[in-house]
Homo-oligomer: A and B are copies of this chain.
């Protein structure tokens, strides 16, 4: 049953609607960090690579993420950042289609995914090209010169969802490789990677998986490809025999070949503890609760704040686990809202985002959040100079 607020250390008086950006602190994460630092690092020192299982940690954590995205054990590697994992997937995908020169994405994709593609293209040269049609035009743009289709399933601004199955099928029919970014999917909506058949998927773990600020990313490779993908980021921990210290790179015959450098042991341990939350969560139950709470929030906000315009799809089947509204003074309004204990976030140019996370939100939270939002909007509380100065938020 949901919610499970008892599994989190949530601050008093806060309704947290930003788990789509940074999930809250799961109970057990702080104790795990203390243990890894004081006992493992402090007492076992270098021996902890074996005695505390540090060397196995990236694979072990990958195996805990796998069932949450419908992937088999052994198919998910963890480490680095999502941007790095995008680059890794993209570089490998291009090598699988050496005669094609087009990377197809969409103009709603998270900018860093597009930037990494641009950086890769600049590095390779040779006439590669990134195409970014509007999301609804992607399917029609999958032409025979497309080497790889790279999309984020859930739009970071609006929550709009691509149809993974249909687009992957279209990509494969055109002979293209498919990469899905699951940043706003993992832990938010049910994903069945094994059924979808995409070659690669990547994602981050600090949003709906609550892994903490800067938690490592993950990359999935379809099991039949794992022994043939060519790692561009050919780090020693992806080597078949890292400690043989051979002069030539030989990739491991497993998903381990997508490991790069020394793993971030402290962050991985915190993430590992955070994943305990998922032991008894059924993604179907979570999704149903997410849709229920999202619909409630939309209904309440549309009733109380007609100034706001829903920019998320109104059909729950087309929407991830967030609800976004456009409002010209959205930045200031969000600051005023946060000051009143309702934490969402803002994305340029005018989008107020609200993450709906049934693990630690209930109907009462949602109604209360809508009421406070209405107060901010209706009374123009955002129209205070202190809310007008912009600062960076991630």
- Where the two chains meet, the residues of A that have a C-beta atom closer than 8 Å to any C-beta of B are 9, 11, 14, 16, 18, 21-22, 24-25, 29-30, 33-34, 36-38, 40-43, 45-50, 54-55, 79-84, 87, 91, 95, 107, 110-112, 114-116, 118-120, 122-126, 132, 204, 206, 212-217, 230-237, 239, 242-249, 260-268, 270, 338, 343, 345, 347-348, 391-394
Contacts and interface: CB of A to CB of B under 8 A. Distances in A.
Contacts of A45: 11, 14, 16, 18, 22, 24, 343
Contact of A249 (B36, B110, B115): B115
26 contacts: A9-B38, A30-B38, A33-B34, A33-B266, A34-B34, A36-B213, A41-B213, A46-B343, A79-B81, A80-B84, A81-B235, A84-B260, A84-B261, A95-B122, A111-B236, A111-B246, A114-B247, A114-B249, A115-B234, A115-B235, A115-B236, A119-B231, A119-B234, A126-B126, A214-B265, A243-B392
Contacts of A230: 122
Contacts of A43: 11
A118 B213 contact: no
A270 B266 contact: yes
A226 B48 CA distance: 38
A80 B261 CA distance: 9
Q: Which of A115, A123, A265, A267 has the most CB of B within 10 A?
A: A115
Contact of A50 (B80, B107, B263, B392): B392
B266 A82 contact: no
Contacts of A25: 37-38, 41-42
Given A47-B343, A81-B260, A212-B266, 14 more contacts: A22-B45, A30-B34, A33-B33, A36-B213, A49-B392, A91-B123, A111-B239, A111-B245, A123-B124, A132-B247, A212-B265, A214-B262, A214-B267, A266-B266
